[in-house]
Chains A and B, each alone.
Chain A
């Protein structure tokens, strides 16, 4: 049984650019949630995907968008990057929202 894998592990982007982060769910999981963890804070809920549809969203602007694929892997896309987007982005997969397994995260730095 594989866990949740995220890629890349680290990324540096320039303000105004766009970024795509990827997440492979744990085998058998059909739900993916994305979180943003800024330095010194707890993870903040961005959105959740269930069976390829957005199933809930936190207080993040529309330039944060996502996709879930038929194999339940997922992408997080952020457009028009801002300096404050610098954070650790965590993906968590679950089976219908029960029992989250987190990946190790992608550390995004916007300069």
Chain B
């Protein structure tokens, strides 16, 4: 049972255009969402996050949108650059009260290729 879904395994975008990566989740307990970027032979690196009390968070070229009613989030990269080519993982977290336990569930990833 996959609680975090990324239905596009891959995406190709021209340099300078917008990249839109989508993610859906099934568990309404999730209250914090993250995007990670992974290059080959490296561990995932944190990119941007959003709390469930917000519907948008921006950081430079990266914007994450959250639609709680649809249990959907998306990552927009504008403008896309060749260095953005990587695998992007959507992740969701539920923080439990009184504990430090916040199991983070990852989606299967979307491989983004930005073509020069």
| Interface set of A (CB-CB < 8 Å, partner B) | 4, 31, 33, 35, 40-45, 48, 50, 55-56, 58, 90, 92, 96-105
B109 to A42, Cβ gap below 8 A? yes
Task: State whether the Cβ of B42 lies closer than 8 Å to any Cβ in chain A.
Answer: yes
Which secondary structure dominates chain B's binding surface? loop
Measured in the bound complex, the distance between the Cα atoms of B104 and A108 in whole Å is: 22
Task: State whether the Cβ of B116 lies closer than 8 Å to any Cβ in chain A.
Answer: no
**Inside 8 A of A98's CB, which chain B residues have their CB?**
102
Interface size class of B (residues with CB under 8 A): 20 to 34
From B100, B103, B109, name the one whose CB has the most chain A CB atoms within 10 angstroms. B100
Of all chain A residues, which has the CB nearest B2? A42
B106 to A43, Cβ gap below 8 A? yes
Of all chain A residues, which has the CB nearest B6? A42
> 1/0 contact trace for B52-64 toward A, CB 8 Å?
0000000000000
Which secondary structure dominates chain A's binding surface? strand
A33 to B44, Cβ gap below 8 A? no
**Inside 8 A of A44's CB, which chain B residues have their CB?**
106
A31 to B100, Cβ gap below 8 A? yes
Given that A40-B108, A42-B4, A43-B89 are contacting pairs, would A97 and B46 also be in contact in the complex, using a CB cutoff of 8 Å?
A: no
B101 to A42, Cβ gap below 8 A? no
Of all chain A residues, which has the CB nearest B5? A42
Measured in the bound complex, the distance between the Cα atoms of B101 and A106 in whole Å is: 24
Q: Which of B43, B91, B102, B108 contacts A41 (CB 8 A)?
A: B108
Measured in the bound complex, the distance between the Cα atoms of B43 and A50 in whole Å is: 21
**Inside 8 A of B46's CB, which chain A residues have their CB?**
99-101
**Inside 8 A of B97's CB, which chain A residues have their CB?**
none
